[in-house]
Chain A
Amino acid sequence: MISTKANRAMQKIRNFFEKELMPLAETLKESGISFLALGPDHDADTYYIDRHKATISRGDFEIEGGNCADDLERALVDLWTSQGYPQLTTLAPALCELAKICHSVEIEQEQKGDVSPAMYVLF
């Protein structure tokens, strides 16, 4: 049975998706920004891409936001700014909020002793 809390969380996710994520996606598409190559390019010689950073150094192990969901907002803002997508940074506060809501649902699920189906998805 799905709890009230889970229902509320799902509603928040849908609201975010419909009212923030999709409108921004449309705007970016219209301005010619695309994130994924969706099919072959027969003119290309190779599909390998050069990695941003070929080697790893000591500082790379210390990821901002990885240690605490409270740092998530700053980590996302930094990431998208560094990638050249400042438009995405407007999503960061709502994502932090969603993280807290989704986690509280997850805790409830764990207390029931179930394995959350959310753990075993493609992502």
Chain B
Amino acid sequence: MTSATVQETDVEDLESFIARARAWALENLPLAVDNAQARADADDHVNQVAKARRMQRLIFEGGFAGLRYPKEYGGQGLTREHQLAWREVTADRDIGCLSQFKVTHGIMGPTLLDFGTEEQKQHHIPAMLRGDELWVQFLSEPSAGSDLASLLTRAQREGDVYVLNGSKIWSTFAHVSDYAFVLSRTNLDVPKHSGLSMLILPIHSKGVTLRTIQLSTGSAEFCEEFFDDVMIPVVDIVGQENDGWNVVMRLFFHERNMVGGNSLNDQDAAGVGESAVSTEEELLALAHSVGNSKDSHTRQLIGEALVLDRLADHTIQRVNALMKSGALPGPGASIVKLMRSLSKYRFKEIALEVGGAHVVFGGPADEVGGHGHRWLVARVGTIAGGSSEMQRNAISERVLGLPRDPSPDTKLPFRDVLSQRKR
């Protein structure tokens, strides 16, 4: 099940690609803006998405979209090396908005390549690469997060359609997106993992009510959705009926690859919830502006933050190489996810300590006060995209091979699981 098998023979050589990409980027892509500006831009979702769509279309027309996607679906049929070269060439360009497409290109497209029908792929993949279709995942529910397989949203088969009822939550940027993968229950009379199906849903369909969720900082990139008798044609199922768990496992595989910087998404995408991360420079600037840059306790803390910041790349490279050689199994990617989550969290804690009383005053965009606001959502990174506890389960059970936790409900028909719950 390889997503994009590239025939080595007709691949453009790296040097000529780099020359072509550099010339094109110089002419077509604007220079990057500074971090504070990028953060301010990112908060305006509607404009940011509109900009991302325009930029993606430009890249598509320039012949650089979907570098590792197969040519028959509008991609370039190139390799990981070309993708890395592209990232280098575009590193100083203003393409931060394209992170809007990381889920579409890094997770949803690859999953569709793996499980989609030929019609689905022809219809959607070129549109994703052109910037016309933004995709999100509708997975978590108010009562099912870490234990995703116990979700309640029902898709009842009625002739040629599934009738969808239920609700989803924590879908990022759904309000400005076009399509979703909806994981829903198509059979209640089998164990929880065996009765799920993955469906393609146009987000703005009749019967879908969407609300953005305001986080404690006031930012609103997460959404929740309610489904009332939403009709989904049977042809829009991805993979087999009741085989949705298999599809979502593959989706998670692609998500882990994306977090590790090695997916079909061409931009170097940070993990979920990292848009609000402070940089090394900002931490140093904070120490200077609150006047404790010479304080030895502060310097130790900053040293610790720098260590955490800089060990990331070396860990990622090692884990990716070990996974590629088979020395680490796929869930090894959880090592990267947990490392990033723990490091970023600690980084924000350190900013709070370095800034002292100064960081609890001021607005979210303030140079100093911003650190305090970002602290409020420091936990997003250790919860979203698979909580740290789930990563620890995956590492201990599926990387280290330690005994699995008992789960009393995996063999029972889901209907019985539900009735036991109500007692």
Partners in one complex: no
List residues of chain B with CB under 8 Å of any chain A CB: none
